[in-house]
Amino acid sequence: MSFKLFITFLLFSTVHAKRLLRLPIIQQQQQHIDLAKRDVIPALPLYNANAREYLVQIGIGTPPQLFNVTLDTGSSDLWVPSSKCSTKICPYSRFVESDSSTLNLTKQVFEVQYGSGSAKGVVAYDSVTINGDLTSANQVMGLATTTEGMSGPSSSSHEKASGILGLGFAGLMRDPKHNVPFITNLLNNKIIDEPVFSIYLNRQGDYGYTGEIVIGGYETTRFTGKLDFLPVVTYDERSGKPYLGRTYSTGGIQKYWTVPGQEIKSFKTDGTQLFATRFEDLQPVILDTGTTLSYLPLDIVISLMETVTSEYKAIKLNDGKIQAYEVKCSDFIDQQVWFDFQFSPLAKSFSANPVVIRVPLKEMVLPQNTNNISTATTCLFGIAPISSGFLNSIGSGWILGQTVLRSAYIVHDMLGSQVGIGAAANGYKSPTFDETEQSIANRISRTSFFFLVALVFFFIF
């Protein structure tokens, strides 16, 4: 996780008698099972301030104390600052333990480490309230007494992040055998009928209330075409390696929302291919709403970036590691270039019919000194090199953050262990050329050319 989400909750009924929670988001700086869906739901606004933060508002304790917490599919723990955390470290909302009549405070140590920060405190159990009157009892959480690197970017908005709500699997939790994630606890408390949630982030430049989250099912008007489903990749409990491709095996534990990555391409609107990867095996791909950028191996980042621009500068940390790349904003405005992230619906092998998230070039760059790419003078490329430490832990892989996920509607199904992907209904007109037919046509053209050369050679000699 790295940046944040704000969501208020609304319960709504369905014609299928399924309980769904519809959550507008505030943005700041295998076998398919029948999921609950809505054909017509009143639109609720989502506020996008600067394409950096996504927060969800929840109430903790009795009576509820309100917190804006980061919505993070890349982790599984819920925590908020304790009243014992200093205002210097925890400057916004803090949980006052003595004010909650339902708090069960333990003596267990809570500690969680993220890619760009950490939190430490004590384990507690208390009620979590959404929409003011829907209460899920006995939710495990951390009450942080100290944090590092968790303050997030500055924002002129009054919504500030105070904690994190992880929406990953129990395998990522501090005590997965004795605790359950937030979504599972909502199911156990009969707040929802299915352990499913769906996320629509919309375009980064659409500031204001423009996106939403549905808990308990999905919203049909937020994507175009159909949903295609991918299996959730499991991990070996001891080694941490994913069961995928050549190392596929049944069993294992679920941790991240990881799906089988197959290929990455960049191309022009007319179908001209600019770059394509060549992987020998499937790649584990983590879908992470809590991460602003997306992360790939260094050589792929450079290759993709150079299909757009030759002018870029590495931004390095104190230890010399590359954190991101600064690029010219103007190079990303007018070019009609698209990026395809392809996934296999099979955990064992590549597929001839991959599932695709297609991202327009404008979503692959983040303005830095203004909120508008047209007026900004400095921008960041939306993909950065993945850390060697992370790769050492799993062998290979990608992390797809907001720069990619904004172009998709993502259905997270815990019961079916699957992820549904549809093209986000965000106003972009995606190319629809048939890549298979084009590939065949290219092969035919090359074959015809060589045949003609051979024929000429025969008659001359």
DSSP string, 188-207: HTTS-SSSEEEEE---TT--
Mean pLDDT, the chain, whole residue set = 82
CA-nearest of 221, 250, 210 to 234 is 250
Average pLDDT over residues 328-333: 92
Tell me the CA end-to-end span of the chain in Å, nearest whole number. Answer: 67
pLDDT, tens digit, for every residue of 83-116?
Answer: 999 999 999 899 999 999 999 999 999 999 887 7
Q: What is the mean pLDDT of residues 1-17?
A: 38
Question: For residue 292, what pLDDT is reported?
Answer: 87
Q: Is 37 in contact with 218 (CB distance < 8 Å)? A: yes
425-446 mean pLDDT: 58
Q: Which of 29, 286, 14 is nearest to 154 (CA)?
A: 29
- Residue-wise over 408-433: b if at least 16 C-beta within 10 A, else e? bbbbbbbebebbbbbbbbbebebeee
On the question of pLDDT at 326 being above 60, the answer is: yes
Cis status of the peptide bond prior to 360, with omega within 30 of 0: no
pLDDT for residue 177: 81
Q: What is the mean pLDDT of residues 204-232?
A: 84
Identify the pLDDT of residue 160.
Answer: 74
Of the CA atoms within 13 Å of residue 2, those in its CB half-sphere come to 16
Q: Which two tokens stand for residue 55?
A: 């927060």
pLDDT band at 433 (very low <50, low <70, confident <90, very high): low
- pTM for the predicted model, two decimal places: 0.86
Mean pLDDT of 428-444: 54
Burial call 153-185: b when 16+ CB within 10 Å, e when fewer: eebebebbbbbbbbbbbbbbbbebeebbbbbbb
Look at residue 158 and tell me whether its pLDDT is greater than 90: no
User: Residue 450's CB: how many other CB atoms inside 10 A?
Assistant: 10
**CB neighbour class for 117 (10 Å; exposed up to 12, middle 13-18, buried from 19):** middle
CB 372: neighbour CB atoms within 10 A?
A: 10
Mean pLDDT value of segment 127-152: 86
Task: State mean pLDDT over 145-174.
Answer: 78
pLDDT at 259 over 60: yes
Please give the pLDDT value at position 445: 38
